[in-house]
Chain A
Amino acid sequence: MNKNGPLEYDYSVSKLFIMNALFVGTIGMLIGVILAWQMAYPEFNTFLGEDLAEYTNFSRLRPLHTDSVIYGFVLSAVWASWYYVGQRVLKVSMAESKTLMFMGKLHFWLYFAASAVIVASLLMGITTSKEYAEFEWPIDLAITVVWLLWGAGIAGLVGYRREKSLYISVWYYIATFLAVAMLHLFNNMEIPTIIATSPAGETMIGAWWHSVSMYAGTNDALVQWWFGHNAVAFVLTTPIIAMIYYFLPKESGQAIYSYKLSLLSFWGLMFVYIWAGGHHLLYSTVPDWMQTMGSIFSVILILPSWGSAINMLLTMKGEWQQVASSPLIKFMVLGSTFYMFSTLEGPIQAIKSVNAIAHFTDWIIGHVHDGALGWVGFMVIAAIYHMAPRIFRREIYSRSLMNMQFWIQTLGVVLYFTSMWIAGITQGMMWRAHDEFGNLAYSFIDTVTVLHPYYTIRAVGGTLYLIGFVMFVYNIYKTTSAPRVEESDLQNASPMGA
């Protein structure tokens, strides 16, 4: 590991993950758009004909959408950023260790293979039904191996590091690794049914991939939402914060506003986030005290969340003209703003009396998407726009395309969440409406047909976002294949030098 001269970072693993993020991102969002149109116009359920209806139908595609955007698109981007940022803030090159490089590539290819199996199995209807943990035991094992490979990669880079202090981003990557490992293992405790033997002595009965959860009913729900909520926290939040802590100062040339604020938000987020899982189970059969804890901690969660977001926005102090001049800064600043917005909306929905109306409605879907499209999506896009010129040694193909993409996608997000707010609150209020005699005022179907215009607006919003994403993919593709080669790495220094 000894070498004189400047470090040459090796981005080959990062590159693979970027390609995958672009590819799966397009597919995952396309499926989302199809689902949105299916809800507005059910005839789209058979868009490939009656014969393939089983595979194009809403309920079969829905887990494919959520899993491909979360674990295909976002996770790929997170790993692309890790294999880029990790080397730089720890001052080690992947090229220095053959083992680390091999592990990185193995990490990618195993992940890619597992993803392909997941797509096939979900289409076939092989699922455990648990949201964001639909995978059966063989895939769960593969995921564990992929995850541990990443963990070993982190440990390797950290172990070889030249920079003694871990930069803030690394804290968040480590937290992501640990938390998801814990959540994945405990939520997927299941017994493969293939091990059963019948009294007649028959073995290997039925589908070999099938398993049964080790938890039943209320317990299963509790463990699932302890997982489900925090999978959101530790796949869609902490690694994205890791990204913005690196890319925003890098891109803007500004130092992070406050180290103390980053400390407070990090440890605060770590402690508070897990508790909030209970807010998915308000008014259910889990014990009352747990529901109350879920509610209270969700409100407290505003503090560390806003801590990070404010830290980001104040990093731009005195440099706000960059928001106007750079489309990349636009993505990051609006991303942070959506993060603030989404982390205020979440706690509001977690208040018991609000949840009584919001739960089970489209308002929740709206909340998920202003976070996912506005914060996570925009940050991932910004990170890739920042990394691409440095990885491919070429300037971004078109700035005006970037700008146009920004405005189209922003419009898409706004249409999405506003329509879903109205849809959710309308439906929630209609479900509970009583007439003067105390009878239910509406039959269930009344509360469905009324949503048609909002479902249509949402589908338009989603389509706009997808169009923007395709522009993004095109822009990156043109960047990688442009003849002009850019040798300089810099633009901006900090954090921790180039």
Chain B
Amino acid sequence: MFHWLEKHPFFFALSVFVVIAFAGLVEIVPNFAQASRPLVGTAPYSTLELAGRHVYIKNSCNACHSQLIRPFKSETDRYGHYSLSGEYAYDRPFLWGSKRTGPDLMRVGNYRTTDWHENHMKDPAAVVPGSIMPKYTWLYENETDVATAYAEQLTIAQFFSTPYNTPIPMKDGSSKIIKMGDSIAEANALALEEAKVIVADMKDQDIKDAVASGKIPEIVAIIAYMNSLK
């Protein structure tokens, strides 16, 4: 049979394809629908959080930080409850990472504050002596791209029925609404509203001034995202 295949390239290629495609079908298809259901209490990202997530991705934070807490005592002691599949239901793309040069960030919002991030991103080694994390000074200058985050919200709401502007059940029985603007102007206004809450806890006067004048530096967006990780 193999000799015959080696003389018939089309059937050879077909056989190779069947053999390699097989594993993917068996592994991926069965659990696909099930794995994408959100947990009660898991909400989609707000406009500024999503923009902050883009800043996180733009700077490849996931190259050094994971967002996956494994079910070991040493990990739950350090980072909090181990990760559950439903918590990732709105993560497109997933940001588990594959290397922990720095600590896991899955629940960083539980134990770090806006103030801490503000100082840390500016000069990590000043906050954590011995840290090898670079300074992310440009985050304090670059302006956040809210429009792209808004475009993504519109896309996921339309294609994946991500529940914006509808009540989402919370763990305590209450419900929460994550707002999405009807226009770019409204999206900007929503993001700015969130940004004002963040800067209230910040010290850098330039950042405060920027937000007061309607601009959102990237640092504000990424802190909004960090604080949402719980």
Contacts and interface: CB of A to CB of B under 8 A. Distances in A.
A367 to B, nearest CB: 12
A172 B68 CA distance: 36
A356 to B, nearest CB: 7
Contact of B35 (A166, A207, A219, A273): A219
Contact of A59 (B59, B66, B125, B187): B59
A458 to B, nearest CB: 13
Interface stretch (B143-151, B201-209, B222-230): B143-151
Interface stretch (B92-100, B114-122, B171-179, B191-199): B92-100
Contacts of A63: 60, 63
A275 B99 contact: no
A310 to B, nearest CB: 19
Given A174-B13, A218-B85, A444 B103 contact: yes
A205 B98 contact: no
* Residue from A194, A277, A297, A445 whose CB has the most chain B CB atoms within 10 Å: A445
A220 interface: yes
Interface stretch (A124-132, A390-398, A404-412, A480-488): A124-132
A365 B64 CA distance: 12
A216 B91 contact: yes
Contact of A206 (B3, B20, B99, B147): B147
Contact of A205 (B97, B102, B182, B184): B184
A293 B61 CA distance: 30
Interface string B145-165: 101111110111011100000
- 9 tightest Cβ-Cβ pairs between the two chains A and B: A217-B88, A206-B148, A200-B183, A125-B58, A274-B23, A196-B154, A45-B134, A285-B85, A206-B151
Interface in A282-307: 283-287, 290, 293, 297
Nearest to B185: A200
A365 B100 CA distance: 11
Contacts of A179: 20
B117 to A, nearest CB: 16
Given A218-B35, A267-B19, A431-B75, 17 more contacts: A57-B134, A129-B57, A129-B60, A129-B62, A206-B149, A207-B145, A207-B151, A210-B152, A212-B156, A216-B94, A217-B87, A222-B27, A224-B93, A274-B24, A275-B27, A431-B74, A434-B74
B72 A432 contact: yes
20 contacts: A42-B133, A62-B60, A129-B57, A155-B9, A166-B6, A196-B158, A206-B149, A207-B151, A215-B36, A216-B88, A217-B89, A217-B94, A220-B88, A220-B94, A271-B19, A273-B20, A283-B72, A284-B83, A433-B74, A445-B130
A53 B72 contact: no
A221 B91 CA distance: 10
A53 B135 contact: yes
B72 A205 contact: no
B71 A283 contact: yes
A356 B72 contact: yes
A485 to B, nearest CB: 37
A91 B3 CA distance: 19
Given A53-B137, A220-B91, A445-B130, A174 B16 contact: yes
B78 interface: yes
A386 interface: no
A285 B84 contact: yes
Contact of B101 (A39, A175, A213, A280): A39
B176 to A, nearest CB: 19
B99 A271 contact: no
Nearest to A278: B27
Interface of A: 38-39, 42, 45-46, 50, 53-54, 57-60, 62-63, 125-131, 155, 158-159, 164-166, 171, 174-175, 178-179, 182, 186, 191, 193-200, 202, 205-207, 210, 212-224, 226, 263, 267, 270-271, 273-275, 277-278, 280, 283-287, 290, 293, 297, 356, 359-362, 364-365, 431-434, 439-440, 444-445, 448-449
Nearest to B78: A440
A54 B138 contact: yes
Nearest to B9: A158
B93 to A, nearest CB: 5
Given A284-B68, A440-B77, A191 B94 contact: no
Given A218-B35, A440-B78, A42 B20 contact: no
Given A166-B7, A356-B70, A360-B98, A218 B88 contact: yes
B57 to A, nearest CB: 4
Given A128-B93, A129-B95, A198 B181 contact: yes
A439 B78 CA distance: 10
B166 interface: no
A223 B184 CA distance: 33
Interface string B22-49: 1110011001100110000000000000
B93 A285 contact: no
A210 B71 contact: no
B28 A196 contact: no
A332 B95 CA distance: 38
B110 to A, nearest CB: 15
Contacts of B134: 38, 42, 45-46, 53, 57-59
Contacts of A38: 132, 134
Given A193-B148, A356-B72, A171 B12 contact: yes
Contacts of A171: 6, 12, 16
A454 B156 CA distance: 44
Contacts of A293: 27
A205 B90 contact: no
Contacts of B147: 205-207
* Residue from A59, A182, A216, A217 whose CB has the most chain B CB atoms within 10 Å: A217
Nearest to B3: A165
A365 B99 CA distance: 9
Contacts of B151: 193-194, 196, 205-207, 210
Contacts of B132: 38-39, 42, 448
Given A166-B6, A166-B9, A130 B93 contact: yes
A217 B100 CA distance: 19
B98 A285 contact: no
Contacts of B68: 284-285
B128 interface: yes
